[in-house]
Structure 1
Amino acid sequence: MRLVAVSSIQENVFLAENVLNSKGQVLLKSGAKLTSPILQRLQSLGITYVYIEDGRTDDIYIRPVLAEGTRREAISVMSEAFNQVKKDLSAGSTKFNLHKTEKRFAAVVRDIISQIKERKEAIDLLTHLYAHDDYIFTHSLNVTIYTLALSMRLKNLTAKQTEEIGLGAMLHDIGKMMIPASILKKPSRLTNDEFDLIKKHTELGFELLRKEHGLPLTTAHCALQHHERLNGSGYPRGLKGNEIHVFGKILGIADVYDAVTSNRVYRKAMLPHEGMEILYAGSGTEFETAYIEMFRKAIVMYPTGLTVWLNDGRKGIVSGQNEYVSDRPILLILEEEGSNLDVPYKVNMAVETTLFITETDTTLSAI
């Protein structure tokens, strides 16, 4: 299978992987012929990339990060908790009761940790392959996965702290339930007043979560500090350096990365290596350099199925990943010296150390 941009596909090729909504429900089954109306529908749903069938790449397989049951339960518990906040607000209440879902949140976090532990390869989470029914829930789950993938590589965090930051990640945006949907989903540029209102979600979430006695106080600090930056340019308090809790520093990286690699109403998703460039641009000024380096090892830089070019001119498709060296994948070489190969062959960049990727097919010419 190959990863291609929906906008560049010519009709009548076949889908190789199911297209899902954020709850993991199938919207379009693999094997479906991609006709012009279907392609238009995919674009209207915000699907940027899909996997298509290609006889030369039949052996390429994508392993989901989470079991579908875990994804559904995570979205379900967040939906229940966040919507309860909305309901309480509409009823004029200033008290929110999350105690009914606290145990379910903790169970989901432990389940995600267990599944990440079982993986030997880096996290290959192409969020733009999903149609997002509600961005906040999907974003919160993605941030949780990225946060835990990074946290589990840090030797200074205990198992208990890892669970706590996982809870904080799932709930870090709960304050957005108190922001008008018309502003959260506005497709055009926000006014200064609208942006100031959105920034309040950090403090609103903190005030909500700190009153929940069944949750660690660090969960509330995740909501409060995930937009703080090392140089003091963040919000709400403009904290600097070690004034920011380690959880806030980790969450800040995961939050930004998922934001830029996910579809939004006002821009299309970036590919993983492009998202990493955003983080590196803030290395040492906005984000801890050591955490960025660890995060780079935890996630897939070049997603399986992506077309790439090497420094020696060869063209190939990412066919697999290497543990701990996500920027040096396994490639299936399809072209040499400008000519297609009758018999493609594999190259492991972790072994062929003189090779490096010079270009990726991010525009992905018509198929």
Structure 2
Amino acid sequence: MIIVPTTQCQPGMRIGKAILSEQGRVMIGYGVELTQFMIRKLVLMGLDFLYIEDRETDDITIEESIHEETRALLRIVLSKIFSKFSATSSLHGSSNTAEISTLLFEGITRVIEDMRKGRHNLVSLTTLNMVPATTLEQHFCQNAIHVCVYATKLGMLHGYSQKELTELGLGALLHDVGNIQLPAKLLLSRTKLTASEFVEIQKHTELGFHMLKEDMGIPLLTAICALQHHERINGSGYPHNLQGTQIHEYARWIGMLDSYDAMTHPRAYRNSIAPHYALEILYANAGTLFDIKKVTEFRNKVAIFPVGQGVKLSTGELGVVCRHNTHIPSRPVVRVLTNERGEKIKSPFEIDLSSSLHVMIDLI
């Protein structure tokens, strides 16, 4: 199986993994043959990549960070939170906080269990074949799950205890919960925010803190993550212009990861950027906006080119990432499938980019 940019897919290719809506419903099932109409539709929907069946890569196993059942449970509880607390909900929804709290702890416990069973000691990108968020609720759920996955895995690799992983995971999952009490038109605006609109947006940190502290029955540190995730170590963040270690360690992780996720996923007002460029931006701001030790740890542990990802090399050859080098995750092993003229190679071969330093990945 190979991960292919949707714009490069051809009619007749078969789906290697079901395409899901943001709600987790199957839109196109496994093994379905793509048509030109389907490809155009998926491009218009903003789906950047597809899992495609491929004989030359059928031995490559693409391992998800968490099980789909776990992801579905997180979507359920996040939807309940949105329904109960959003600015447009009536009588604050029908779910009680005890039910929501129980589901939150169950969800985070499953995330931790899934990741402990994973084979790789790397932070992997989240699901690629999912329709991008278009509504405030979809954006809230998608961003929450992405940041939760990154943060929990990094916390695990960092050596946090079960209790600490639960606190960090919940903080990551709920870091932007205050946004759901803001007007959707403000958060989904396609134009640059005015000064007064930006002040309004900034209120989501304190709104989230009070929601979590007073209503949700979860650890105080989770609420502090919601309050502090936009603080920056040079004091330029908000709401309290905290500096350095005045910002809780969990919030420093989450602030960095939230920024990375924002850059690598499209927003109403801009397109996404490639993961390796986003990582460069994080590193350029390490020591000023972000904790340099945490950026370095993320850089050393994130698999920015996931197994199965189709890539173009600086040699002009096309291939697929077949495995990671845990000591240099940004330099994977690539199975070369076509030559520089785009012709299929009769005997595909593998190139280890950790030892072939003159070869670069030019294009995802």
Return the TM-score normalized by structure 2. Answer: 0.88
Specify the SS of the correspondent of 1:71.
helix
Is residue 185 of structure 2 the alignment partner of residue 186 of structure 1?
no
Deviations 1:121-168 (A, max 9, x none): 22332454211451101110111111111111224x433122111111
Q: Which amino acid aligns with 2:267?
A: R
Alpha-carbon shift at residue 269 of structure 1 (Å): 2.8
* Paired position in structure 2 for 1:130: 130
* Equivalent residues in 2 for 1:348-363, closer than 5 Å: 348-349=352-353, 353-355=355-357, 357-362=359-364
Aligned to 2:234, what secondary structure does the other structure show? coil
Q: After superposition, where does 1:93-172 map in structure 2 within 5 Å?
A: 98-121=97-120, 122-132=122-132, 134-155=138-159, 157-172=160-175
Partners of 2:106 and 2:123 lie apart in 1 by 21
| Distance change (3 Å), C-alpha of 1:87 and 1:259 | closer
Distance in 2, Cα, partners of 1:130 & 1:360: 25
d(CA) in 2 for partners of 1:306 and 1:300? 11
* Counterpart amino acid of residue 104 in structure 1: L
Give yes or no for contact 2:13–2:53 (8 Å, CA) kept in 1: yes
Q: Distance in 2 between matches of 1:38 and 1:313?
A: 29
Is the alpha carbon distance of 1:232 and 1:268 closer, same or farther for their aligned partners in structure 2, counting shifts above 3 Å? same
**Cα shift at 1:324:** 4.9
Structure 2 Cα separation of the partners of residues 187 and 38 of structure 1: 27
Q: What's the secondary structure of 1:51's corresponding residue? A: strand
**Which residue is 1:25 aligned to?**
25
Instruction: Give the counterpart letter for 1:346 in structure 2.
Output: E
Larger deviation: 177-186 or 20-29?
20-29
Query: Against the structure 1 CA distance between its residues 178 and 87, is the aligned structure 2 distance closer, same or farther, given a 3 Å change threshold?
Result: closer
Distance in 2, matches of 1:88 and 1:337, equals 54
CA distance in 1, matches of 2:92, 2:216: 22
Answering whether residue 112 of structure 2 is matched by residue 79 of structure 1, we say: no
Q: Which residue of 2 aligns with 1:176?
A: 179
**2:209 aligns to what?**
206
Counterpart mapping for 1:8-47 below 5 A? 8-47=8-47
Distance 1:195 1:356, change over 3 A: farther
Q: Percent identity?
A: 33
Higher RCO by CA contacts (8 Å cutoff, separation 6 or greater): 1
Find the aligned partners of 1:204 and 1:297 in 2 and give their Cα distance.
34
Structure 2 CA distance for aligned equivalents of residues 239 and 33 of structure 1: 53
Q: Tell me, what secondary structure is at the counterpart of 2:86?
A: helix
> So what's the TM-score if we normalise by structure 1?
0.88
Deviations 1:176-226 (CA, angstroms, capped at 9, x unpaired): 111011112223332332222111101110111122472111111100111
What's 1:345 paired with? 349
TM-aligned CA distance change 1:13 to 1:188, over 3 Å:
farther
Q: Which amino acid aligns with 1:183?
A: L
SS at match of 1:295: helix
Which residue of structure 1 aligns with residue 228 of structure 2?
225
- Structure 2: distance between partners of 1:213 and 1:40: 43
**Contact 2:124–2:306 (8 Å) recurs in 1:** yes
* Other structure's SS at 1:153 match: helix
Amino acid at match of 1:252: G
Distance 1:136 1:114, change over 3 A: same
Q: Contact (CA 8 Å) 1:187, 1:266: kept in 2 or not?
A: yes
For these two proteins, the number of residue pairs brought into alignment is 357
Superposed CA RMSD in Å reads: 2.6
Residues 104-135 of structure 1: per-residue CA shift (max 9 Å, x gap)? 21121111111112222223324542114511
Contact 1:127 1:261 in 2 (8 A): no
Q: What amino acid maps onto 2:363 in structure 1?
A: D
What is the deviation of 1:89? 6.0
Name the SS of the counterpart of 1:78 in structure 2. helix
Q: Which of 301, 304, 316 is matched with 1:301 structurally?
A: 304
Structure 1 gap segments, 5+ residues each = 363-367
**Deviation digits for residues 283-339 of structure 1, max 9, x if unmatched?**
111111211122123321212233445577765321122335322322212356767
1:65-99: CA deviation from partner (whole Å, max 9, x where unpaired):
11111111111011112211127964489xx9623
